[in-house]
Amino acid sequence: MRRFARTAVLTGALLLALSGTATAADTGTVSITGAVASPASYTAAQLAALPQTGYPITNPGHGPRTVTGTDLDDLVTAATPNLPPGKNTALRVSLTVTGKHHRSVTFALGELTPDFGNHPAVLTTAGREIELVVPGDRTRTRSISGLTAIRVAVSTAGADAVAPGSIRVIGPHRTVTLSAALLSRLPARRVTSTFLAGTTPQTHTESGPPLSLVLLAAGILPLPDTTVVAIGGDGYGAAVTLAETYVGGRELLVSTVKDGVPLTQPRLVPNGDVKGGRYVSGVVTLAVG
């Protein structure tokens, strides 16, 4: 409901942003660029005129309060990411938000959207400066003040041919294939995951190494802003970032055992998602941004 109710309003706001109606009093401006069909810029005043949502802040040490602002995922969706054909390809979208002093954080769009990760990030406009706040995070690590840019990327990585049970990890500087035997030797965690498949609730017990350990085994340092697109043998893909675990409090597993039965091919488990779109089965490739 939130998505449909706001699409028309945001589209109108996008046209306003493109028209360059900022006044001299506006000091905060954020641009949306990258792999989008409709790049735009918003002033603080224009953002304040968009639909606002209030969220309780759970960051420790700041006391209970509510933050109100414009949902980041709505702005990115209104800019129309350039999606490849296929099912749920919006889950391949990632975005890097940059503020003053060139500080930046990266999100997977699927983490933010209500239908999947349902872990929102909001742009607030207290005063004339634009600030990013992630209400559900355990710390303020991903909060950014003086927002200036949102850059959108869309992964087009495809599936690799690998031996049964193996995963090919494609990093910025190296490509490594992790065998089924190696994955089975990594320390495993066990979680119970519940999500919707369509409108039907599913609950499964999943066991396997954390995604961060899999990246370490491939020689890749798992930093919070590391973006990983898990791709199944059928080409289906979904993005996550390690910050979802580090500050978002969500487990990201590479499951090798589901409901007590060893899997032929590993499965990405973003535990806590509302729907199962980012649960990628039959993973053969991890494309690391």
**Dihedral (C-alpha) 84, 87, 90, 93: value to the nearest 10 degrees?**
-60
Q: Rounded distance, CA 158 to CA 279, Å?
A: 17
Average pLDDT value for residue range 227-251: 97
Residues 6+ apart with CB under 8 A from 6: 51, 71, 74
CATH architecture, domain 167-288: Alpha-Beta Complex (3.90)
Confidence (pLDDT) at 209: 98
Q: Rounded distance, CA 222 to CA 172, Å?
A: 13
16 pLDDT higher than 60: no
**240, 110 contact by CB (below 8 A):** yes
- What fold is seen in the domain 2-154? Sulfite Oxidase; Chain A, domain 2 (3.90.420)
Share of the chain above pLDDT 70, in %: 89
pLDDT in tens, 58-108: 656 666 788 999 999 999 999 999 999 999 999 999 999 999 888 999 999
Residues 6+ apart with CB under 8 A from 96: 104, 105, 106, 150, 151, 153, 225
Please classify residue 140 by burial: count the beta carbons closer than 10 Å to its beta carbon, then call 0-12 exposed, 13-18 middle and 19+ buried: middle
* pTM of the entire predicted model: 0.89
Confidence (pLDDT) at 101: 86
Q: Predicted confidence band at 128 (pLDDT cuts at 50, 70, 90)?
A: confident
Structure tokens at 115: 């239908």
> Within a 10 A sphere around the Cβ of 30, how many other Cβ atoms?
24
266 pLDDT higher than 80: yes
Confidence (pLDDT) at 289: 87
273 pLDDT higher than 60: yes
Residue type, 47: L
259 pLDDT higher than 70: yes
List 217's β-bridge partners, or say none.
none
Helices (H) and strands (E) in the chain, counts: 7, 18
Confidence (pLDDT) at 64: 74
12 pLDDT higher than 90: no
Residue type, 94: S
Q: Predicted confidence band at 20 (pLDDT cuts at 50, 70, 90)?
A: very low
Q: Rounded distance, CA 117 to CA 274, Å?
A: 6
Could you identify the residue written with the tokens 């900022």?
Answer: 22
Query: DSSP assignment of 1-41, as one string?
Result: -HHHHHHHHHHHHHHHHHTT---TT---EEEEEESBSS-EE
Confidence (pLDDT) at 21: 40
126 pLDDT higher than 90: no
Confidence (pLDDT) at 63: 65
Average pLDDT value for residue range 212-236: 97
Nearest to 285 by CA among 258, 262, 254: 254
Confidence (pLDDT) at 4: 41
Computed over every residue of the chain, the mean pLDDT equals: 90
Look at the chain and count its residues.
Answer: 289
pLDDT in tens, 158-174: 999 999 999 999 999 99
pLDDT in tens, 170-215: 999 999 999 999 999 999 999 999 999 989 999 999 999 999 999 9
Long-range contacts of 188-192 (CB under 8 A, 24+ apart): 188/256, 188/257, 189/251, 189/253, 191/251, 191/253, 191/269, 191/271
Domain coordinates in residue numbering, the chain: 2-154, 167-288
Q: Rounded distance, CA 186 to CA 278, Å?
A: 23
- β-strand pairing of 283-288 with 167-170: parallel
